Amino acid sequence: MDEDRDSLCQPPAEMPEASAARAMLDQLDAELIGLAPVKGRIRDIAALLLIDRLRAEQGLQSQPPSLHMCFTGNPGTGKTTVAMRMAEVLKQLGYVRKGHLVAVTRDDLVGQFIGHTAPKTREVLKKAMGGVLFIDEAYYLYKPENERDYGQESIEILLQVMENQRDDLVVILAGYKDRMDGFFASNPGMASRIAHHIDFPDYSEAELMLIARLMLTRLNYRFDDGAEPAFARYVSLRRQQPHFANARSIRNALDRIRLRHATRLFSADRRLTREQLCTLQAEDVLASRVFTGAPRQGATT
């Protein structure tokens, strides 16, 4: 009986917002392969926001958490993709009002001459209000080798708005791990205002295969029986080589396989079936230079 009297609010799982949040998390699970730490953090944030709403109903102190984030990880691990989704997610959880994403780099924030930076940065912030501001390769904002660089000015304005208008704007910084660490070391103010540092792990081979399959399904292609193991071999070989950029390398590889597939079909003089138009064969995959062990120059086949 006591327990009944105490439980004023409905179970969190039965809140209407909870089912919306769960649907959104399921969708995220289906569309993003791997990335367990990232999804875990998004789930935590969703839970906190829902519980905060229950606390507010009970008249308890509920201050919206600071959601500024930093995404670090190797190239192609999905930082930008997740940032795009994050805006939608936060919109559905009711944390940001509009849920649009403004993606910028140093060029959009930092000006060319004295007095140019502040208006430029403020313009971007104005645009991002009510949504998410995504700063890609944020470490370029700070150039320690040039003490008169205007990046510092931009950082100061950002910090001010990040602190004073937490309800209006979520800032996400992204970049490679080591360089972001350097950036935070020289900008302790920035490091302390960012509550969530999320590291994007590299994908395993199995995850890369899942990603490839997902990409192909979206493009209405598929591997035939021979092509699938061939591509698995491609992935394991490609991972050993320099300049491997996780999902981005997979996307590039698939693009080149599609090129070879198209060339092969183009030289045929028969009428093509729908099946042929969709099916990638082993020979399309095996023509890659990765298998011949030829020396690579930058990002080639």
| Residues near another protein, by CB under 8 A | 97-98, 100, 119, 122, 125-131, 161, 165, 168-169
H or E element in which residue 277 lies: helix 274-278
Instruction: Work out how close the CB of 125 gets to another protein at its nearest, in angstroms, rounded to a whole number.
Output: 7
Distance CA 169, CA 122 (A): 13
| DSSP letter assigned to residue 99 | -
Give Cα 154 distance to the centre of its chain: 24
Q: Given the complex with another protein, which of 73 and 131 has the nearer CB atom? A: 131
**Which two structure tokens, joined as six digits, stand for 193?**
């205002």
Q: Given the complex with another protein, which of 105 and 252 has the nearer CB atom? A: 105
Q: Given the complex with another protein, which of 98 and 289 has the nearer CB atom? A: 98
Q: Given the complex with another protein, which of 165 and 236 has the nearer CB atom? A: 165
Rg (CA), the chain: 24
Instruction: Work out how close the CB of 120 gets to another protein at its nearest, in angstroms, rounded to a whole number.
Output: 12
Instruction: Work out how close the CB of 67 gets to another protein at its nearest, in angstroms, rounded to a whole number.
Output: 15
Give Cα 140 distance to the centre of its chain: 19
Instruction: Work out how close the CB of 65 gets to another protein at its nearest, in angstroms, rounded to a whole number.
Output: 18
**Which two structure tokens, joined as six digits, stand for 257?**
């396989």
Distance CA 162, CA 253 (A): 40
Q: Given the complex with another protein, which of 120 and 238 has the nearer CB atom? A: 120
Instruction: Work out how close the CB of 161 gets to another protein at its nearest, in angstroms, rounded to a whole number.
Output: 8
Position 19, amino acid: S
